[in-house]
Amino acid sequence: MEGRGGLGPVKIVFLESSVELVPRSLWSHPQVLRSARRYGIEPEDLLLDKSLHYNAMAGLPAKWKRGRPDILHVALLTSTETPLYQEGLLRIYFQVYDGRVFEVRSGVRIPKNYERFKGLIAQLLKTERVPPKGGEPLIRLYSTSLREFVEKEGGPILMWERGAPSTAIFVAARALSTGLPIGVGAFPRGEFKRSTLRKASEAYSIMGGAPLKTWGVASRIVYALERLKGLPA
């Protein structure tokens, strides 16, 4: 679909999101077993969630970047409940902890209920599409790695606190003129992996480089894109 002004949809990819199934090493932990009983599912079918599995996660490598599916949930809601997305002018992708990148089909409504969202994402991580069978998937595996994603879409324009100082309008204009995806980190704290930084085509900071939540960055970028696309304020 062509966008306003003859330009196609812009792309946002949420990078390194804190989304994964509970690792095998934690399946027998009391907190994990308690969660599994609560939801009536097996431990291996649970999303790792820091609010439920804080003690279980104590020995995990890079635990400060893991177990926060709520960040992706809010970011997806922030991005999809907008005129830009609803008019088919925004394509959304997200990378999960193991590196895979998934595509959200245009027009899909993200569950507002957090528990429903977690169940959907847990199913997605196991089957690589939802629904698992039949019809066009609402969300599907797009790339098995960020490298493969970059080969398809180009290196992202990275939103990074240490990037070149800029504005949301400038970043939005760059995305429209280059066709490159805008990359936004979807983890609670810490740095992007070096492998992610190396794949970026450009890197910018907004708001004077102040730390911003994932959904804060996304909302500013989406609004800037709407202005440039001429959508009603």
99 is in an annotated binding site: no
Beta bridge partners of 203: 158
212 is in an annotated binding site: yes
Residue-level pLDDT at 4:
34
pLDDT, one tens digit per residue, over 141-153 is: 999 999 999 999 9
Residue-level pLDDT at 190:
87
Residue-level pLDDT at 8:
78
30 preceded by a cis bond (ω within 30 of 0): no
Dihedral (CA of 21, 26, 27, 29) sign: negative
211 is in an annotated binding site: yes
159 is in an annotated binding site: no
Domains of the chain (ranges, CATH numbers) = 8-19+67-113+136-229 (3.40.1280.10)
Residue 36, classed as helix, strand or coil, is helix
224 is in an annotated binding site: no
Average pLDDT, 10 consecutive residues per value, the chain (233 residues): 53 98 97 96 96 96 96 97 95 98 95 96 97 91 98 97 95 96 95 96 88 92 94 77
What are the phi and psi torsion angles at 15 (to 5°)?
-100, 145
Are the C-beta atoms of 133 and 126 separated by less than 8 Å? no
